[in-house]
Amino acid sequence: MPASETPWMRACEVMVHAVDLTTGVTFDDLPGDFLEALQADTRSTRGPGAVPEVSGPLPEVTAYLVVRRAPDRPHRPRRRGWCAEVLPSRCRTA
């Protein structure tokens, strides 16, 4: 991985983990341009056809694509193991 990608990786880490830490920050609070870039990065990293086509509000779709919300419970944390059921090649359940 080139060093030039470090700022992007850090931005992803800080912003997504701010949501994960349940401090009150949600994907609705993150900047729209960041969410668009994160969606594009997620799709390109996983490759064509590996990410389902979904539609909806930008924050909700981004949270879904980065496996932070289960589609059957969009306003609650995902249940343990949901990620492996839906996207097994990109998730760990341990």
Residue 31, pLDDT score: 95
Give SS3 for 73.
strand
Structural contact between residues 90 and 67, judged by C-beta atoms closer than 8 angstroms: yes
CB count, 10 Å around CB of 35? 22
State how many domains the chain has.
1
Q: What is the pLDDT of residues 34-50, one digit of tens each?
A: 999 999 998 888 888 88
Residue 5, pLDDT score: 85
| Both structure tokens of 27 | 């994907």
For residue 57, what are the domain limits?
3-90
pLDDT per position in the chain (94 positions), as tens?
788 888 888 988 899 888 888 788 888 999 999 999 999 998 888 888 888 888 888 988 888 888 765 444 444 444 444 444 444 444 443 3
